[in-house]
Chains A and B, each alone.
Chain A
Amino acid sequence: MCGIAGLLYKSPTRYASLGQQMLTMLDVLGSRGVDGTGVALYGPPRPEAAIFRIWLGGRDAPADQAERALARVRGLARVLEASVSHDYLRLVVEQAGDLDPLVQAIRGDERGIEVFSVGRSMEIVKQEGPASVLRERYCLSTFAGSHGIGHTRLATESRVDVEHCHPYWARPFPDIAVVHNGQLTNYYKQRRIFEMKGWRFQTQGDSELIALYLAHRMRAGASLEEAMHASIRELDGTFNYIVSTVQGIGFARDAFATKPLVFVETDEYVAIATEERALVAAFGPTVAAFEPPAREVRVWPLPRLVAGR
């Protein structure tokens, strides 16, 4: 089943509500599946630093996993912020150039530790279970920011574990994430083709392909919208997906409109969700949402008036 959600605020006056409204939508969409819940939220962008959200390995992780990862990072760069809550280590690291050495350093040779997101602004937090787990463990209802995406999972194609929860970071490209409702039927064929071109896949989840597809197309010069239009031709299967970058959010629907999706745009915000119930819960009963047609691609950039972008 899966549920997906996207939110973008057109005015900074609403930024304080981002985490809370996103979690409200995911509470409702949890009726579609609670194998996992995850968000990618965009807080104030850091001009000279990168934010890392690091999964420490869950129940079987050694007690000093975070400290040892921190020590490895300190050998390479200046750590501006470091905090551990439950299964995540959050780092803000001064960034100069390529992030890959930092990502490798964090992982070290350890089992279980994994970097789930890197970005100037984007932070991914995901966990098995319902949205209430994210609310209780990671204080995400107080996360303030301009936009974000979220997901509730009913696993159909791959394992139930945190690695296969969405959102998928389009590694190694910072600040890009995807949430997906549906199944890609040409995943293995496409994966083989792209691996031969040098792409690296982290998981066995088909949704990861969407994130990498968009990121690589954009690296090759396509706009996000062009990449999304191409994906509708080249990816086979059922899908609605929502992609987020530091600039905004967008959705795409497959050629047969096989999965439900509604969205609403007002002067103050854009909200996308698998079910209208989620929008009503977050924004009230006067929400004028409607279902877009098959093959639709819509992208919303943040308004240019916002400083620092």
Chain B
Amino acid sequence: MGFQTRAGGSALMAGSFRLDCAALSTREINQTLRQLLAEGVRDIVLTNPAGRHNLGVALRGEGRITLEGDAGYYAAAMLEGPSVRILGNCGWGTAENMMRGEVVVEGSAGNATGATIRGGTLVVKGHASSRTGISQKGGLILVGGNSGYMTGFMMQKGVMVICGDVGEALGDSMYEGTIYVGGRIAELGNDAVLRDLQESDLELLDAQLARYGIPGRFDWKKVVSGRRLWNFSKKEMGVWIHAL
């Protein structure tokens, strides 16, 4: 595609690039982003995202992408390497299936934020919604505000930090992984249990909150799997009935 893709963009300084979403289809935006990253452009700014869906999906390599505004569904989904910053809100499925990299949302995010991520770091400075980090398989999810119903459902691995309050069914059916909550827990999900925090937990929390500029002192709770749903034996029916 070469220089054709640069129609609608301009270089501000060596290695940086401004791209106006209003002038392009979503497919053109994403293809241009991939092209620019492959060509070694390390700093890209998208203007006028206007809440569009599927912006910046399946990006690989190294670089910094900034969205000046809101994104819609699946922003930065399937990310593998770059760092994406969204100066606004996001819809459903933000950073879904991220393999590695970093996504920082300055505003709030919708349902299933960080669904099934395998690595990398996802930060939502505002609030997240229901089903945050559903089926998380690694990486770190950090929410500065509240999170909703079924947060951490079927978590398998990784770390989730919710600084604010959390809705019902927290960590329902989680296998492994750790969820830290700074505010109130409305209800623990099936087989999710509270554990005492260790020094190492507090060090991790302080470090990550400082790194992403999230202020405040929190009354941390630590939630892990009770492991009572890992194996089923009909002789233990009583255990299952109790756990469920």
In the assembled complex, the Cα of A289 lies from the Cα of B131 at a distance in Å of 19
If over half of A's interface residues share one DSSP class (helix, strand or loop), that class is named, otherwise mixed; here it is: loop
- Confirm or deny: A79 has a beta carbon within 8 angstroms of a beta carbon on chain B: no
Identify which of A256, A275, A289, A291 gathers the most chain B CB atoms within 10 Å of its CB: A291
Q: Which residues of A contact B125 (CB under 8 A)?
A: none
Let me know if A257 and B129 touch, CB within 8 A.
yes
A-B pairs, top 10 by smallest CB distance, nearest first, are A277-B51, A276-B51, A257-B130, A291-B129, A280-B51, A294-B149, A290-B108, A285-B69, A291-B110, A280-B50
Out of B70, B110, B149, B150, name the residue touching A260 (CB < 8 Å): B110
Interface membership of A293, Cβ < 8 A: yes
Q: Which of A257, A276, A287 is within 8 Å of B91, CB to CB?
A: A276
Among the listed A257, A260, A281, A289, which residue makes an inter-chain contact with B89, where contact means beta carbons less than 8 Å apart? A289
B81: which A residues are within 8 A, CB to CB?
none
User: In the assembled complex, which residues on chain B have CB atoms less than 8 Å from the CB atom of A277?
Assistant: 50-53, 72
Q: In the assembly, what is the distance between CA of A262 and CA of B129, in Å? A: 11
How many chain B residues sit at the interface, stated as a range, is 20 to 34
Q: Which of A260-305 contact B (CB under 8 A)?
A: 260, 262, 275-277, 279-281, 285, 287-291, 293-294
Report B-chain residues with C-beta under 8 Å of the C-beta of A275: 51, 72, 91
- B70, B88, B149, most chain A CB atoms within 10 A: B70
CA distance A118 to B53 in the complex (A): 38
Chain A residue at smallest Cβ distance from B110: A291
Residues A285 and B92 in contact, CB atoms below 8 Å apart: no
Among residues of B, the one whose C-beta sits closest to the C-beta of A257 is: B130
Question: A238 to B156, alpha carbons, bound, how many Å?
Answer: 28
Task: Provide the bound-state CA to CA distance between A290 and B150, in Å.
Answer: 18
Minimum C-beta distance from A66 to chain B (A): 42
User: Known contacts A275-B91, A276-B72; is A293 also within 8 Å of B129 by CB?
Assistant: yes
Contact check: which of A262, A285, A290, A291 meets B50 at CB < 8 Å?
A285
A294 with B88: CB separation less than 8 A: no
Residues of B within 8 A of A285 (CB): 48, 50, 69-70, 88
29 example contacts (A-B, Cβ-Cβ < 8 A) are as follows: A257-B130, A257-B148, A257-B149, A260-B91, A260-B92, A262-B91, A275-B51, A275-B72, A276-B70, A276-B91, A277-B50, A277-B52, A277-B72, A279-B51, A280-B51, A285-B48, A285-B70, A285-B88, A287-B70, A288-B89, A290-B108, A291-B110, A291-B111, A293-B129, A293-B130, A293-B149, A293-B167, A294-B130, A294-B167
Other-chain contact of A262, B52, B110, B126, B149 (Cβ < 8 Å): B110
Interface string of A222-265 (1 = CB under 8 A from B): 00000000000000000000000000000000001100101000
* Known contacts A279-B51, A291-B108, then 20 further A-B pairs from the complex at CB < 8 Å, ordered by chain A residue: A256-B149, A257-B131, A257-B149, A260-B91, A260-B111, A275-B51, A276-B51, A276-B72, A276-B89, A280-B51, A280-B69, A285-B88, A288-B107, A289-B89, A290-B108, A290-B126, A291-B111, A293-B130, A294-B130, A294-B167
Complex-state Cα separation, A256 to B89, whole angstroms: 22
A-B contacts counted at CB < 8 A amount to: 60
Report A-chain residues with C-beta under 8 Å of the C-beta of B69.
280, 285
- A contact residues, total (Cβ < 8 Å): 18
Distance between Cα atoms of A291 and B149 in the complex (Å): 12
- In the complex, the chain A residue whose C-beta lies closest to that of B147 is A293
Interface string of B45-68 (1 = CB under 8 A from A): 000101111000000000000000
Question: Whole-angstrom distance from the CB of B145 to the nearest CB of chain A?
Answer: 10
Instruction: Output the nearest chain A residue to B145 by Cβ-Cβ distance.
Output: A290
Complex Cα gap A256–B134 (Å): 14
CB pair A294–B148 under 8 Å, yes or no, is yes
Q: Which residue of A lies closest to B168 (CB)?
A: A294
Q: Does B127 contact A (CB under 8 A)?
A: yes
Q: Bound state CA distance, A202 and B50, in angstroms? A: 40
In the complex, the chain A residue whose C-beta lies closest to that of B92 is A260
Docked Cα-Cα span, A45 to B107, in Å, equals 39
Residues in chain B near residue A276, CB distance under 8 A: 51, 70, 72, 89, 91
Contacts of B48 in A (CB 8 A): 285
Kindly state the separation between the CA atoms of A281 and B88 in the bound complex, as whole angstroms.
Answer: 15
Chain A residues positioned under 8 Å from B70 (CB to CB): 276, 280, 285, 287
Within 8 Å CB of B91, what residues of A? 260, 262, 275-276
A240 and B244 CA atoms in complex are apart in Å by 29
B130 touches A290 (CB 8 A): no
In the complex, per-residue mask of A10-30: 1 if CB is within 8 Å of any chain B CB, else 0: 000000000000000000000
